[in-house]
Structure 1
Amino acid sequence: MEALEIALPQGSGITVHIKLVNPALPVKACYMVVSRQYVTELLVKPGDKKSFTFSCNNPEKHFILEVKKSIDCMSGPCPFGEVRLQPSTSELPALNRTFIWDVRAHKSIGLELQFSAPRLRQIGPGESCADGVTHSISGRIDTTEVRIGTFCSNGTVSRIKMQEGVKMALHLPWNIPRNISGFSIANRSSIKLPLPLAMVDKYIVSFCFGSASTGLCIIESVFEGEGSATLMSANYPGGFPEDELMTWQFVVPAHLRASVSFLNFNVSNCERKEERVEYYIPGSTTNPEVFRLEDKQPGNMAGNFNLSLQGCDQDAQSPGILRLQFQVLVQRPQNESNKTYVVDLSQERTMSLTIEPRQVKHGRRFVPGCFVCLESRTCSNNITLTAGSKYKISFLCDDLTRLWVNAEKTLSCLDHHYCSGKSFPLQVPRDVLQLPVRLHDFSWKLLMPKGKLSLMMVPSQKLQQNTHERPCNTSFGYLVASTTPGQDLYFGSFCPGGSIEKIQVKQNSSVTLRTYAPSFQQEVSRQGLTVSFIPYFKEEGIFTVTPDPKNKVYLRTPNWDRGLPALSSVSWNISVPSNQVACLTFFKERSGVVCQSGRAYMIIQEQQTRAEEIFSLEEEVLPKPSFHRHSFWVNISNCSPMNGKQLDLLFWVTLTPRTVDLAAIIGAVGGGALLLFALGLIICCVKKKKKVNKGPAVGIYNGNVNTQVPQAQKFPKRRKDNDSHVYAVIDDTMVYGHLLQDSGGSFIQPEVDTYRPFQGPMGDCPPSPPPVFSRTPTAKFTADEPAPSGPPESESEPYTFSHPSKGEVGVRETDIPLLNTQGPAETEE
């Protein structure tokens, strides 16, 4: 390779040191050749002249170069002014170079580093500069070196002033042909000031007020327009020197506003004094403004200001670490900056309100801050207002959609005797709605004595349950969930415009009003729930539903994504108007639940007749679409399911008009008369034959024959689906024919009666779950009323039934064929 030469003038105070990048690694690939000797290190001192070559073509991968100049300002004058690179980069080999200036001065002398454009930007641990050019600056406290920070180009730091000397290191990559240092050194007065405030070179410096302690350094940061700067305390992320003072001066154009945010900080264990930050803000009547590091820091400041970090005397046994990383954001004032909003929580006891940023993607390089300010001065990107006080807030934000409000209020009942029957509204307070930022969540926590009371929620407008089949498209909705510890029960998300009239929950719950669109401000009048304390019940929840005749009503079990909690029960009270017929349809054919213990059941109960159908959800298929002319209950009770085999059901209800066709009714009545005439004729014929050991034919219920009357398509689907009104004739040799004979062998004439529907009160209590040993679908009746001879009908559809008036007829023999069940009927309370 080409021979290189380094010559240093006598008395220059400069040394050049070339060494391996990593001396610990074995050297095989590259050496320096000096006077025909292979060496790995070369030191050139003042007055020396050294010639050398490299044994490889890429020495920059193996060697680094360090140029160090010592400047002694204690024994002679300091060489103030612009600092030059000596020797210049053109005189040095193309290696990664570090120029170090070590200036020693007396404690009474202040040395100032001035940086020409571009100014410096401080970086934290692990960060690097895009061009590889870095500035590392350190100061001294007696014999201890203190690292001020590492900086890149293109920032706001214009000057750094230190006491008792400075050490400046400029690192240049081997491929950067730079021949200037970019800074100069000036002599300034001591940082030690006897007065709280002093003028230093036409800018104001704030120090430890009332103290004459020596400040470590002063850093000036100049903003020419909108922008931000991140700065750190000395030795960051290590500990700030004990009982020291560090000051940052910020030069801000008068038409802009500055806000300070602490990104990261720690406090040490103080034995004397107190760690704090102090602000000098021109125009403030309370200078200095003193804050703890835990406090919200000032914002919305116009013009120049200073910030100082003051340490304390630390505990010798356990000193701890004081450190600070903060950001200063400078931006144009917004229209909202001059508006003040009052949030009065002085009458509240359990309410809190938080204004915080929401996640918004930005494409711009500089993103102005979004701050909330208390009394127009203490600003932060998030702020929490608590009960018992009255607040005045303003906003320093270019786009208020970047913020939102979350609030929480607790409503508790301690005396169940007093609270029983009490009602109260869940409405967002006006002070929250008048804020110019969007409300995200307002949550009410509803607490009550365990096992004493339950809750009933009645919305101002009927609610729709949010499902994939029919999602909510409103600007807001309600989220209802249990808050009982250890129970993860989410009832669902609901929005206005549905069929749910009320929701009843067994225990402590939370109701959250969540907004989905800014149009909530126009629909705010639609929000509102009334909550009442009601007598305690054992089910987890009860939903009262009045279906909309025009739409399907989709309903699903709570905890849809995770399954209904073990051993819990939920009911739906579904009302059917008198002129409508309801169709109940399940989404799946089977529930999919697998029980580890206990049984999972579903009960469908007609409220007028109290007739129940019970289905085992683990073993049986779910019922096919069924039609209900009267209000009914749907109850779902879970077992202890196995993992991965949870219970979640989706079903829907539709309404169709209950039409009345006179021709169809006449046809049905005529058909019934003909059927009775044929039955009588057969009985007469059998009586004339007088066959031995054969009884007469009898009309019995036949569930398998479909005799749809012509033009019956005008009827909605009702009894023709189960053919419960159809009778067929069997031969007189049937085994039950003898029941129509008396003791003398003569036949008993049947009595004729008309079925009338039950006109009693509707059921207001959900059906009780069956015993755990029940497995098969069962028709269930109350003990205080007889089993009906068929599904209930309206008075407009009369049917006649024949039954014996005399003779010993067992309950079992008559119940089974009339009910058309798959097994024996169970009677239970």
Structure 2
Amino acid sequence: MAGLNCGVTLTLLGVLLLGATRPREAGAFEISLPHGSGTTVLIKPGPFTLPVKPCHIITSGKYVTTLPIKSGERKDFSFTCSSPQHHFVIEVQKDVDCMSGPCPFGEVALQPPTSVLPTLNRTFIWDVHAHKSIGLELQFALPRLRQVGPGDSCPDGVTHSISGHIDAAEVMIGTFCSNGTVSRIKMQEGVKMALHLPWFHSRNVSGFSIANRSSIKRLCIIESVFEGEGSATLMSANYPDGFPEDELMTWQFVIPAHLRASVSFLHVNVSNCEKKEERVEYYIPGSTTNPEVFKLSDKQPGNMAGNFNLSLQGCDQDAQNPGILRLQFQVLVQRPQNESTVTYVVDLSNEPTMSLTIEQRPLKQSRRFVPGCFVCLESRTCSTNLTLTPRSKYKISFLCDDLTRLWMRAETTLGCTEHRYCHRRSFSLRVPRDILQLPVQLRDFSWKLQVPKDRLSAALVPAQKLQQHTQERVCNASFSYLVASTSPGQDLYFGSFCSGGAIEQIQVKQNVLVTLRTYAPGFQQEFSKQGLTVSFIPYFKEEGIFTVTPDMKSKVYLRTPNWEQGLPSLTSVSWNISVPPNQAACLTFMKERTGLVCQTGRAFMIIQEQRTKAEEVFSLEEVLPKPSFRHHNFWVNISNCSPVSGKQLDLLLQVSLTPRTTDLTVVLIAVVGGGAFLLFALGVTICFVKKNRKKKKNKGPAIGVYNGNVNTQIPMQPNMFPKVPKDSDAHVYAVIEDTMVYTHLLQDSNGSYVQPEVDTYRPFQGPTEDCPPSPPLPCSRAPTAKWPAEEPSTGFSPEPESEPYTFSHPSNRNTDIPFLDAHEPVETGE
């Protein structure tokens, strides 16, 4: 008895410490089972890890590892170790025969009681056999049961496993823990109930009773009672294995009148049916169409007041390929909300491509009960998410305690198949009023713009200039536009853009996905002032072109598309940057090197002033150019190569404006020099006129003398011509005037001379070039060339702006003149 008292003490200690063990002295136990009780006891090794020291059972002077005790037997035993709970388990099974005699209805007791059993993990099993026409009911006292899935454990370690019979087959109804809503389970043709108690638990009652009921004509009925707000998760029989073929199972829900219940399917599988159809049926109080039949793929009812029943019906399955029917669902009971009485109309009947999805936004998990958020069609078919399809009209309501837990996403397609019809046409990207009037935040609205391949491109023009989201300048607006190219085989994300920037236009070569993303419920006021227009323009070959007009207020940050993954291989993108009059734009790159290593081809950056057409070509595998000032509109073009694995091209540009300053000394020199040049030109003109008159009078051969002081070398390429002595006559040439030799050809029929036609050069007055510079050939290996940005180097005569002396990068046109040697740019004011 000392050992028994110690065992009781340890039992209480185990309850407090939740499984903490303490060795007890080995003691003797005695189990006696009455004759005809139908009870057997089996002590056997448990599914534990093998201990370091073995433990045995001692009975009748023998060491055994298994001890069975049958009805009518009495056995004394003890253990060779002080902690047998780590080695053995005990099973107590009672067979109840309700076919040859009356069933022992009423409360079920634990026999033998736990007080005479050793402190091992105990399992009490009641196997009740009944006729097919007899219904048995298991009634559970408070606290009720809660069904759990396979592999889940109960907090207190007490588990109920309930099975039924179909002929000779056993069907698993479910595994249950305490503290739930399941109050009764009705079975047809017998029941098998197993109660699992951990060794440290002091429970000494079964907690259920058996009652007799009439035939239920189905596998089972599970009753779930709700006292207030809460939820219950339930599963079909044999879950997660297949539901028995052509069987019927029912759940009865008891709901307080002031609450509302909603059903949502968490996991569904259907089998392959030969006959009938798998379905669920609802009996809802007050419904005029009971039973309401739903497919397993349908949205399930919600916002139901009062008690209701839910039944799962199987089918006759294909013998060769039966499949699996299984269902896991949740019933959520909560108070009705004021919003549930308001109905909203969403009319998509005139929208051939628009769809709308209302869903729950991600929330942190909470152990407390959280009321559900449901979207209901016609106030009855409710679910946690709802998708409205095109060309239909809907009436929806909300069963939700907090509508901020929901948001919606919409998308539509704007397509154009005939390029002649779409050329220069424009469309306004607006959100329909039916969507904006819903009491749920609009998360995304996407426009899929489909452009005729290789025929047209798309241009996005905002009502207000946009700013590109960067780490240096974050968008703080209530919404933004996400722009991406969706050309077949390549998805190119251009970036996120919001109001308040310098970008006037975004041109994309092919199909475009524009997504309006909102960040605050009150975005509509700001969005109404913005607006975005898309038009179809002539096709161009670059992936994207940005038109940027900076102002003096802030710096402009621009970054290459696909910032996270890098610009795709062999992709080109350009920025058309405007410089206002009397301003200078400082172009800065935010890092010194790109870190790019090309595997095939070369990566280039071209900077071209649109007024002078002068181009500067830089290799992106080398050091990026230093900050430079631009006084006129200019292009920045970036063309990628095929980089080696792990390398990517991502550049961040900064453009800032400063007032253009002019040096007073330069102005004075220009004025004086201009006056001197004017006097010189006047003198030369007078001399030239006198000389011509003298030539005409003498009619002798005209002699021209080559001026040896004029530079005959190509700029920046010295020693192109050999040097000659200064006193040599090699530079003196005789020039014969054509009019002296071919005078007979200039006479008219009257014998008088015809004056030759004289033309003068006129500079081009048309519009400046609006196309970006053509990138070099992908495999070109032209060296990097940098040209003076403003003033030429010392020793060269300044050229007028209308006639620049520049060199271009290699292009499709042939040239025999190689690039000149690279020189550092000279940054000066104009």
Q: Structure 2 vs 1, CA of residues 673 and 61 (structure 1 numbering), >3 Å: closer, same or farther?
A: same
Which amino acid in 2 is paired with 1:762? Answer: T
Which residue number corresponds to residue 437 of structure 1?
440
Which residue number corresponds to residue 783 of structure 2?
775
Which residue number corresponds to residue 713 of structure 1?
none
1:493 partnered with 2:496: yes
Q: Write the deviation string for residues 13-67 of structure 1: whole angstroms up to 9, x where unpaired.
A: 2222222225998997122211212222222223222111112111112221111
Deviation at 1:762, TM superposition (A): 2.2
The structure 1 residue matched to 2:614, chosen from 567, 587, 611, is 611
Deviation at 1:698, TM superposition (A): 7.8
Which residue number corresponds to residue 55 of structure 1?
80
Q: Write the deviation string for residues 157-176 of structure 1: whole angstroms up to 9, x where unpaired.
A: 00001111111111111111
Matching of residues 154-193 of structure 1 within 5 Å: 154-191=179-216
Structure 2: 5+ residue stretches without partners: 1-25, 681-705, 717-722, 735-760, 790-795, 806-814, 825-830
The structure 2 residue matched to 1:419, chosen from 418, 422, 443, is 422
CA contact (8 A) 2:785 2:821 kept: no
Which residue number corresponds to residue 405 of structure 2?
402
CA contact (8 A) 1:695 1:740 kept: no
1:559, 1:297 → 2: CA distance? 42
The structure 2 residue matched to 1:482, chosen from 481, 485, 489, is 485
Which residue number corresponds to residue 665 of structure 1?
667
Which residue number corresponds to residue 275 of structure 2?
272
1:763 partnered with 2:769: yes
CA contact (8 A) 2:604 2:640 kept: yes
1:18 partnered with 2:43: yes
CA contact (8 A) 1:611 1:780 kept: no
Which amino acid in 1 is paired with 2:152? Answer: E
Deviation at 1:279, TM superposition (A): 0.5
Deviation at 1:759, TM superposition (A): 5.7
CA contact (8 A) 1:464 1:497 kept: yes
Structure 1: 5+ residue stretches without partners: 192-213, 679-693, 705-732, 745-754, 782-787, 802-811, 824-829
Which amino acid in 2 is paired with 1:57? Answer: S
2:535, 2:320 → 1: CA distance? 59
Farther off after superposition, 767-776 or 394-403: 767-776
1:452 partnered with 2:455: yes
The structure 2 residue matched to 1:296, chosen from 274, 296, 299, is 299
1:170, 1:698 → 2: CA distance? 112
Which residue number corresponds to residue 250 of structure 1?
253
CA contact (8 A) 1:70 1:101 kept: yes
Which residue number corresponds to residue 628 of structure 2?
626
Q: Structure 2 vs 1, CA of residues 101 and 737 (structure 1 numbering), >3 Å: closer, same or farther?
A: farther
Q: Structure 2 vs 1, CA of residues 168 and 738 (structure 1 numbering), >3 Å: closer, same or farther?
A: farther
Deviation at 1:180, TM superposition (A): 0.8
Which residue number corresponds to residue 592 of structure 1?
595
DSSP 3-state at the match of 1:180? coil
CA contact (8 A) 2:459 2:506 kept: yes
Which amino acid in 1 is paired with 2:198? Answer: P
DSSP 3-state at the match of 2:203? coil
1:76, 1:503 → 2: CA distance? 87
Q: Write the deviation string for residues 409-449 of structure 1: whole angstroms up to 9, x where unpaired.
A: 11111111111111111112112212211111111111122
CA contact (8 A) 1:343 1:391 kept: yes
The structure 2 residue matched to 1:34, chosen from 42, 55, 59, is 59
Q: Write the deviation string for residues 255-294 of structure 1: whole angstroms up to 9, x where unpaired.
A: 1111111111211111111110000110111111111111
2:514, 2:151 → 1: CA distance? 45
Farther off after superposition, 376-385 or 21-30: 21-30
Q: Structure 2 vs 1, CA of residues 432 and 550 (structure 1 numbering), >3 Å: closer, same or farther?
A: same
Q: Structure 2 vs 1, CA of residues 544 and 61 (structure 1 numbering), >3 Å: closer, same or farther?
A: same
Deviation at 1:364, TM superposition (A): 4.7
The structure 1 residue matched to 2:359, chosen from 351, 356, 361, is 356
1:216 partnered with 2:219: yes
1:735, 1:4 → 2: CA distance? 131
Deviation at 1:757, TM superposition (A): 9.8
Matching of residues 559-578 of structure 1 within 5 Å: 559-578=562-581
2:732, 2:130 → 1: CA distance? 134
DSSP 3-state at the match of 1:111? strand
Deviation at 1:135, TM superposition (A): 0.6
Which amino acid in 2 is paired with 1:262? Answer: F
Give the structure-2-normalised TM-score.
0.81
Query: Could you list the runs of 4 or more consecutive aligned residues of structure 1 that deviate by over 4 angstroms after TM superposition?
Result: 22-28, 659-664, 670-678, 694-701, 733-744, 755-760, 778-781, 788-794, 819-823
Deviation at 1:12, TM superposition (A): 2.1
1:87 partnered with 2:89: no
Farther off after superposition, 769-778 or 573-582: 769-778
2:115, 2:503 → 1: CA distance? 83
DSSP 3-state at the match of 1:489? strand
DSSP 3-state at the match of 1:30? coil
Q: Write the deviation string for residues 778-810 of structure 1: whole angstroms up to 9, x where unpaired.
A: 6699xxxxxx9647779xxxx9x9xxxxxxxxx
Which amino acid in 1 is paired with 2:489? Answer: G
Deviation at 1:385, TM superposition (A): 1.1
1:555 partnered with 2:558: yes
2:83, 2:367 → 1: CA distance? 41
CA contact (8 A) 2:607 2:634 kept: yes
Q: Write the deviation string for residues 662-707 of structure 1: whole angstroms up to 9, x where unpaired.
A: 78734653588799999xxxxxxxxxxxxxxx99978999x99xxx
CA contact (8 A) 2:28 2:76 kept: yes
Q: Structure 2 vs 1, CA of residues 16 and 491 (structure 1 numbering), >3 Å: closer, same or farther?
A: same
CA contact (8 A) 1:427 1:527 kept: no
Matching of residues 677-756 of structure 1 within 5 Å: none
1:125 partnered with 2:150: yes
Deviation at 1:136, TM superposition (A): 0.7
Deviation at 1:511, TM superposition (A): 1.0
2:797, 2:135 → 1: CA distance? 108
CA contact (8 A) 2:784 2:822 kept: no
Which residue number corresponds to residue 135 of structure 2?
110
CA contact (8 A) 1:445 1:511 kept: yes
CA contact (8 A) 1:695 1:738 kept: no
2:134, 2:601 → 1: CA distance? 86
Which residue number corresponds to residue 531 of structure 1?
534
CA contact (8 A) 1:139 1:164 kept: yes
1:512, 1:524 → 2: CA distance? 13
Which amino acid in 2 is paired with 1:99? Answer: F
DSSP 3-state at the match of 2:550? coil
CA contact (8 A) 2:137 2:184 kept: yes
Provide the identity percentage: 73
Q: Write the deviation string for residues 356-377 of structure 1: whole angstroms up to 9, x where unpaired.
A: 1221114452122121111111
Deviation at 1:317, TM superposition (A): 2.0
1:615, 1:471 → 2: CA distance? 29
Q: Write the deviation string for residues 480-520 of structure 1: whole angstroms up to 9, x where unpaired.
A: 11112221321111111111101111111211111123331
1:736, 1:69 → 2: CA distance? 131
DSSP 3-state at the match of 1:488? strand
CA contact (8 A) 1:696 1:738 kept: no
Farther off after superposition, 623-632 or 96-105: 623-632
DSSP 3-state at the match of 2:491? coil
DSSP 3-state at the match of 1:613? strand
CA contact (8 A) 2:48 2:87 kept: no
DSSP 3-state at the match of 1:775? coil
1:654, 1:134 → 2: CA distance? 71
Deviation at 1:295, TM superposition (A): 1.0
DSSP 3-state at the match of 1:490? strand
DSSP 3-state at the match of 2:487? coil
Which residue number corresponds to residue 372 of structure 1?
375
Give the structure-1-normalised TM-score.
0.81
DSSP 3-state at the match of 1:539? coil
